[in-house]
Amino acid sequence: MRLLLGFVLSTFWLWEASLSRVYTNHWAVRIPGGPSEADNLASKYGFTNLGQIGGLEHHYHFHHSRVVRRSTFVTRGTHSFIHMDPKVDWAQQQLVKTRVKRHARSDPSYIHLNDPKWSNMWYIHCSDKNSRCRSEMNILAAWQRGYTGRNVVVTILDDAHLASYDVNGNDYDPTPRYDFSNENKHGTRCAGEVAAVANNSHCIVGIAYNARIGGVRMLDGDVTDVVEAKSLGIRPDYIDIYSASWGPDDDGKTVDGPGPLAKQAFELGIKKGRKGLGSIFVWASGNGGRQGDHCSCDGYTNSIYTISVSSTTENGNKPWYLEVCSSTLATTYSSGEFYDRKIVTTDLRQRCTEGHTGTSVSAPMVAGVIALALEANPLISWRDVQHLLVKTSRQAHLKANDWKTNAAGHKVSHLYGFGLVDAEAMVVEAKKWRTVPPQHTCSKTSDRRTRSGCRDQPDQQVVFLEHVVVRVLIVHPRRGDLEISLVSPSGTRSQLLAQRLFDNSNEGFRNWEFMTVHCWGERAEGTWTLEISDSPSQLRNPEVLGKERRNEVQTSIRLNMLPVTKCSDCSFNFYIMFCKKGTNKTYNILHWLCS
């Protein structure tokens, strides 16, 4: 084995034919000349301008009715010349993305509710004297303190007037499409968890039952980068929390994430959403446990801008569908084996269901808890919310062999993040929370492996960690054989990637970002060690392996960081990126997102 251009783990280049792509008759176009110019260019090349893409300035959604709706090849014609028009900065024909919904194929006497399924909501209160029942998310206690989500707006990105939109139908009616299979029940179920009305004698009560709820219909059709960007950018001035219980296929072999437009929508949301406090994006961590999937290969749950949420059973056991990764922030109750109870919620056609399952359950639960915290303190930022979850989530009775205490005193696990959410603790802490400093950016490029942490820039000195992101370029004959770990200067080990049995791809990782929250609150200075392990499986082609590839190969890279001047309240996100610079040279770019 040899290293080529950073972390390129291969003695050869071998690329298999890419999976069949499906092109649509929709385009994303960047035109700096404004809406009128966009209309003129759309007309010139035979398109219809469907308007700006969410809140992305100068980005427009074009549609061409004479181009086939779905095709396995890029279409050609006079419309394709729009790429070369000098008034167009950038244009991209939209590809269909595979996105799957992530359902798995205190004293209650003070609360008086007439909703018929109230007694079945074991995850909020225990009324059946069942010794297995553990209601440790303290939602009831938060209600008893007077917090019910009032004046907070939550939108479900699946299925309230101003908080809703139909991206698939390009109109303001997000009503799910009914069919005999009730395929589009997912969003309705998630919405009920958050904000089902209390005391209306129907079904259940939502965690934030006085919050305003909206729905964005965007999964009932072809999902493209434009569709996702529009959905993530719906009314950021009005919507506080976006909850998403979907993502790339959890098949144990997919590596996928947001496209360039969706990435911009995330960044715009955290910068301008909620009048500058930042939109809050909550994401289900994934249901690929049985396929040996790893949520670090999901670019949505792996983002610093999202709150990735895991699940546990009523007994605190690991559910069969659970994915393990270092980006998970917190956990809620959900379903488990056939004998474990599931979640009750609203369903299509004015019905209830007692069969809601998977990590799809957990994202809207956390969205509801965050809504309670926002009622307690509407001025907390998107980063404050993450800090509150880190501080208040608890190990409780969650069973995992990898619980550890990091150098900042936080207990954390690859299965459950910082533990089970605690709604009462969230509202109590939010009420008295002191906002963390604004996020700054410090970028250094150097061939040296020792970094000062912006020591020469007093306003951007780095002391304490939030997220740590590692960007790698790896070429490899079988991606599923790789394991990657990061060890912080304090000795905290994060598994960034585990082996994946079904991942036979030879595409490796092309500037893929892995993220860990396990170093949260630790000091940044010292030696960072990135370990890459290549354990050849029987599935690797022996003709390709070569004799030197039949045994496990490990490599590690250490990066030293000089101590920085102490500051009283300073946090940051640390990016390690490995890129090529010339021939046979490596260099490291460290992006410090400092406070």
313 in the same domain as 220 = yes
Of the candidates 114, 91, 110, which has an alpha carbon nearest to the alpha carbon of residue 41? Answer: 91
Confidence at residue 161, expressed as pLDDT on a 0 to 100 scale? 37
Q: Is 158 noted as a catalytic residue in this protein?
A: yes
209 in the same domain as 84 = no
Q: At residue 78, what are phi and psi to the nearest 5 degrees?
A: -60, -30
Range 483-487 average pLDDT: 95
Question: Are 515 and 467 in contact, with CB atoms under 8 Å apart?
Answer: yes
Rounded Cα distance, 248 and 255, in Å: 8
CA 420 to chain centroid, in Å, comes to 18
Of 10, 61, 103, 158, the active-site residue reads 158
SS3 200: coil
Residue 579: pLDDT band by 50, 70, 90 thresholds? very low
Sheet arrangement for strand 464-474 = 442-446, 586-594, 571-580, 464-474, 509-516
Q: What is the pLDDT of residues 14-41, one digit of tens each?
A: 333 345 788 999 999 999 999 999 999 9
Whether 272 has a pLDDT exceeding 50, the answer reads yes
Of 61, 125, 186, 591, the active-site residue reads 186
Whether 72 has a pLDDT exceeding 90, the answer reads no
Confidence at residue 138, expressed as pLDDT on a 0 to 100 scale? 94
Confidence at residue 591, expressed as pLDDT on a 0 to 100 scale? 38
Give CA separation, 450 vs 360, 444, 454, 529, in Å: 42, 11, 12, 13
Domain boundary among 372, 404, 431: 431
> Residue type for 78, please?
T
Residue 115: pLDDT band by 50, 70, 90 thresholds? confident
Higher-pLDDT residue of 116 and 305 is 305
Higher-pLDDT residue of 440 and 534 is 534
447 in the same domain as 421 = no
Range 241-262 average pLDDT: 94
Rounded Cα distance, 311 and 316, in Å: 9
Tokens of 553: 């190969």
Residue 454: pLDDT band by 50, 70, 90 thresholds? low
62 in the same domain as 150 = no
Whether 8 has a pLDDT exceeding 90, the answer reads no
Domain CATH number, residue 32: 3.30.70.850
Whether 581 has a pLDDT exceeding 90, the answer reads no
Range 514-539 average pLDDT: 86
The position carrying tokens 């035979």 is 46
Of 159, 222, 347, 422, the active-site residue reads 159
Q: At residue 94, what are phi and psi to the nearest 5 degrees?
A: -80, 135
Rounded Cα distance, 137 and 149, in Å: 16
In a domain, 62, yes or no: yes
Tokens of 218: 């965007």
Higher-pLDDT residue of 453 and 345 is 345
315 in the same domain as 405 = yes
Whether 80 has a pLDDT exceeding 90, the answer reads no
> Residue type for 535, please?
S
DSSP for 382-419, written as a single string: HHHHHHHHHHH-B-TT---TT-EE-TTS-EEBTTTBT-
454 in the same domain as 339 = no
Domain CATH number, residue 272: 3.40.50.200
Residue 195: pLDDT band by 50, 70, 90 thresholds? confident
Of the candidates 282, 428, 306, which has an alpha carbon nearest to the alpha carbon of residue 362? Answer: 282
Domain CATH number, residue 556: 2.60.120.260
Helix (H) or strand (E) segment spanning residue 446: strand 442-446
Range 304-332 average pLDDT: 95
Whether 286 has a pLDDT exceeding 80, the answer reads yes
Tokens of 340: 């474990």
SS3 83: helix
Domain boundary among 396, 431, 466: 431
Average per-residue pLDDT in the chain?
A: 80
DSSP for 495-525, written as a single string: EEE---TT---S--EEEEEEEE-TTTT-B--
Range 508-517 average pLDDT: 94
Q: How many CB atoms lie within 10 A of CB 105?
A: 9
Q: What is the pLDDT of residues 297-308, one digit of tens each?
A: 999 999 999 999
Provide the β-strand partners of residue 339: none
In a domain, 294, yes or no: yes
392 in the same domain as 454 = no
Of the candidates 30, 66, 33, 31, which has an alpha carbon nearest to the alpha carbon of residue 47? Answer: 66
Range 326-338 average pLDDT: 92
Rounded Cα distance, 160 and 164, in Å: 6
Q: What is the pLDDT of residues 127-168, one digit of tens each?
A: 445 556 667 899 999 999 999 999 999 999 874 334 444 454
508 in the same domain as 541 = yes
Whether 402 has a pLDDT exceeding 80, the answer reads yes
| Domain count along the chain | 3
Whether 552 has a pLDDT exceeding 80, the answer reads no
Confidence at residue 2, expressed as pLDDT on a 0 to 100 scale? 34
Residue 203: pLDDT band by 50, 70, 90 thresholds? confident
Of 360, 452, 485, 494, the active-site residue reads 360
Question: Are 157 and 258 in contact, with CB atoms under 8 Å apart?
Answer: no
536 in the same domain as 498 = yes
Q: Is 159 noted as a catalytic residue in this protein?
A: yes
Of 327-341, 352-366, 444-458, 509-523, give the lowest mean pLDDT range: 444-458
Q: Is 294 noted as a catalytic residue in this protein?
A: no
Residue 275: pLDDT band by 50, 70, 90 thresholds? very high
Range 320-344 average pLDDT: 90
